[in-house]
Amino acid sequence: MFRAIQSLRRHFAVKIMATAEEAVADIPSGAFIAVGGFGNSGVPENLLAALSNRREVTGLTVASNNCAVDGYGLDKLLIHKQIKKVIASYVGENKNFETQYNTGELELEITPQGTLAEKFRSGGAGIPAFYTPAGYGTVVSEGGFPVLYDRNDPTHAKVAKYSQPKETREFNGVKYVLESAIVSDFSLVKAWKADTMGNLVFRGSGMNFNPMIATCGKVTIAEVEEIVEAGSIPPSQIHTPSVYVHRLIKGASYLKPIERLTLNTGGALKIPGKGDVQAMRERIIRRAALELKDGMFVNLGIGMPTLIPNFVPKTMKLFLQSENGILGMGPYPRPGEEDADLINAGKETVTMLPGASLFSSSDSFAMIRSGHINISILGAMQVAKNGDLANWIVPKVMVKGMGGAMDLVVSPSRCVVTMEHTQKKAHKLLEACTLPLTGKDVVDLLITELGVFDFNREGGITLVELAKGITVEHVKTNTGCSFLVASDLKEMPLA
């Protein structure tokens, strides 16, 4: 098989095509395509628009981190019902994607983001499979996730196909899941610049999945904003060598819409919510900020965790990492300084500090998986008393996807969770999670508006700090599990 794939990849030089339509003209129905991009950043929008215009091409299997927003990128293929299956880590806010999945119009193979990046990288490296800790003990390894709903069932509640269990193995006391590599029929990628040989250079966080996807395609088609003469790009600045690229086009135009334009207007920090809700969230954020120490490499999840840096001392130096390929993120940009090729994992516009670095999603998850990030702070829907975490799906209600969370929580770094203690008076800290898990026994510290729980104390989950004005009995009443109370229980400090 690998010899056949290699023969397909052999070619003497990249073919520069006149149009995107010409470049995708031979993609047939039923093809397996891998598509670069993260959110709306680094999306091969001209190639996808051209493919969407070929309405006769249907039954596609698509592997990509997500499907962008309504009316852009892969969503153009969803609109015309050209996709039968998606392999992705995130559904996000794409309503067509979520609706077609929930009504049984397409299959969804939900995959942890770091696993997906490694699937592409391994496929391009000739490695058929690999072990990863991400997803162990969840539906990823145990199966049972609804891959396809029965479209003939008027309620769309009947499942036509479930995911199957995967092989697991233990190495040095850690449980791992066996995952297979991805080799696509066609890979569609977006780079910033190419030379006439087909060497590619990516820009900003637009790199994301594109370098790995460029390597794993039997036929790789790249679109760029500029084509220069061979030799114009210094060899040391080339990200993807020409050997991986078969076809090349210069995009006719680029929309590059920003999904979440987030600006620094110089005004006071605004915490979501009103009144007591806003005060409650600020209490959680301020306490979480005390977990950060000078010089730390930090990954912050979307939602409340993104606000934490606003409450650390200005003299403290932190290296904020985003799993789409940034280390050294700075504050939100000022109006007019936003860059569609520089977004964080929450699809917000960001800046970079002096000394920042950019890299692929594969390299990003390598540093996460290997423990080079000191601490991860995430939100949660539910936490169990043994440290289980659920934060990525409410079946048939909200299908967002796990993104990079499954990789983050099983890494050797410290896992801190920020969570409102209850939701509409329903318990969120439970004996056992009732929602699909993100990770088993992964939470080190839980911070809510009522107090702080340490999961690493001898004897198990322990209330170690109590919010001002809150009693232990009040915490017990609002908690769905038993817990220990520290003999040295303290008042919860705030940054």
Looking at residue 61, its amino acid is: T
The domains spanning 2-128+181-250 and 275-488 adopt the same CATH topology: yes
The per-residue pLDDT for range 283-332, each reduced to its tens digit, is 999 999 999 999 999 999 988 999 999 999 999 999 999 999 999 999 99
Using the CB atoms, write b or e for 68-92: b if 16+ within 10 Å. Answer: bbeebbbbbbbeeebbbbbbbbbbb
Q: Which residues pair with 463 in a beta bridge?
A: 453, 485
Q: Give the burial string for 216-245 (b: 16+ CB within 10 Å, else e).
A: bbbbbbbbbbeeeeeeebeeeebbbebebb
What per-residue confidence (pLDDT) applies to 267? 83
How far apart CA 287 and CA 432 sit, in angstroms, is 25
Give this prediction's pTM.
0.96
Known catalytic residues?
323
Q: Which SS3 state, helix, strand or coil, does residue 365 take? A: helix
Tell me how far apart the alpha carbons of residues 366 and 113 are, in angstroms, rounded to a whole number: 12
Per-residue pLDDT tens for 157-216?
999 999 999 999 999 999 999 999 999 999 999 999 999 999 999 999 999 999 999 999
Q: Which residues contact 155 (CB under 8 A, 6 or more apart)?
A: none
Q: How far apart are CA 184 and CA 220, in angstroms?
A: 9
In the three-class reduction of DSSP (H, G, I as helix; E, B as strand; rest coil), residue 210 is classed as helix
Q: How far apart are CA 353 and CA 310, in angstroms?
A: 15
Which sequence spans correspond to the domains of the chain? Answer: 2-128+181-250, 275-488
Q: Which CATH superfamily is domain 275-488 in?
A: Glutaconate Coenzyme A-transferase (3.40.1080.10)
Residue 353 in tokens = 């500090």
Structural element, H or E, at residue 405? helix 405-410
* Domain 2-128+181-250 in this protein, CATH class: alpha beta
Q: What region, left, alpha or beta, does residue 202 occupy, with left being phi > 0 and alpha being psi -120 to 50 degrees?
A: beta
pLDDT score for 396 = 83
Length of the chain: 495
Residue 3: the pLDDT is: 45
Residues of the chain with pLDDT under 50: 1-8
